Amino acid sequence: MNRPPKIRVLIVDDSAVVRKMIAEALSSDPEIEVVGSAPDPYVARDKILELNPDVMTLDLEMPRMDGLTFLKILQQHRPLPVIVISSLSQAGSQTAIDALEAGAVDVLAKPTSAYSIGNLGPQLASRIKGAATARRPAPAAAIVRPTVPIKVSGSFDPRQIILIGSSTGGVEALRAVLPQLPDGLPPICIAQHIPPHFSKAIAERFNQLCAYEVREAADGDTLRPGLALIAPGDYHLIVGGEPGQYRVRLTQSPPLHHCRPAVDALFTSAARCGGRHATAVILTGMGHDGAAGMKTLKAAGASTIAQDEATSVVFGMPRAAIELGVVDRVLPLGQIPQAILATLRDQTTAASLANRQAA
């Protein structure tokens, strides 16, 4: 049996120590081969031409040319799946967001010690495999660039809740969905595979783009209409309480699918309390996180939506949920905001009818 070729990786970082740590972390994966490394973009340019890598890891703070500038040039002249591995301070996180908008597939925090790279190793390998299969559909911002959110009329059932899970390519997918949603909707909980510190910067960026409040979740937060909470990096976001009186908990229970936050943790917890009042959306991402949780939600009566293959950067997570038969609607990214609103209206109408029949 012919084995598929290994994924060829080029590591670009000005620190020889970090280059060595990343290479060693990937060396144990039989599906990945580190074919070279470079200390700056100028050397990386020559290595790309010489080695023809499948995926590149890229630091953002480097001498001679910063990583963001190099990424923009690269995507224009020699598109290549890129995973940013950088120091995610507050300032660095803002630059990492710019890198995603410029075409990077994913962002991970730079290791600071042998211990941290040991923890990062399986996650990095998984992200590299996802990047190797990533397609580059039209950027999310190009699919939908709203000047105003979709208009809605009427009110919603106070027990409703919106749940969104995403991974590789998910930040840009969320940028196509969240600003389209109007203020006053039921509360939104988001689990995006994301490193620590980066989640706060992402929440702040979305808070500027959206008509409602978006922020990083804090333990004990009460969910309310017009609020979207993003799970912090390295914490699972758990929904509890009663319908209409939801609260969230943050936990550092073991990672699921090498991820914390995990979409399955969010979806499964919401199934126990939100059930048929939930609308769950699964967006682009590597692997199958979220599929089992969506199955649990569907069994509890939730409405479910998945992003289609054509607009997904990586179709792993949506495909896994679809193959389980637990997705009501499979849609292009640009149609998902309207589908969320239509689902909320249908749920509200059904709840109102049930209340009248019970009276």
Please say if 193 is a catalytic residue.
yes
How far is the C-alpha of 282 from the C-alpha of 147, rounded, in Å? Answer: 25
Annotated catalytic residue: which of 193, 257, 277, 288? 193
> How far apart are alpha carbons 93 and 32 in whole angstroms?
27
Question: Which of 215, 228, 139, 216 is closest to 181 using CA atoms?
Answer: 228
Q: Which sign does the torsion angle of CA 88, 174, 184, 163 carry? A: negative
**Marked catalytic residue, from 37, 167, 269, 312:** 167
Place of tokens 């890598």: 53
Question: 290, 320 in Cβ contact below 8 A?
Answer: yes
- Of the candidates 221, 289, 303, 312, the residue annotated as catalytic is 289
Angle of helix 114-132 relative to helix 16-27, nearest 10 degrees, comes to 70
CA distances from 173 to 107, 166, 212 (A): 15, 8, 18
Contact by Cβ (8 Å): 53, 82: no
Q: How many CB atoms lie within 10 A of CB 355?
A: 10
CA gap 283, 268 in Å, rounded: 17
Residue 309 structure tokens: 């293959």
Residues with Cβ within 8 Å of 25's Cβ and at least 6 positions away in sequence, in order, are: 111, 117, 118, 120, 121, 124, 125
The encoded tokens of residue 146 equal: 């709203």
* SS3 letters across 125-150: HHHHHHHHCCCCCCCHHHHCCCCCCC
- Say if residues 81 and 107 touch (Cβ distance below 8 Å): no
Is there a catalytic annotation at residue 289?
A: yes
The answer for 280, left when phi > 0, alpha when psi is -120 to 50, beta otherwise, is: beta
Which two tokens mark 36? 């070279």
Q: Select from 187, 295, 181 the least CA-distant residue to 246.
A: 187
Catalytic machinery residues = 167, 193, 289
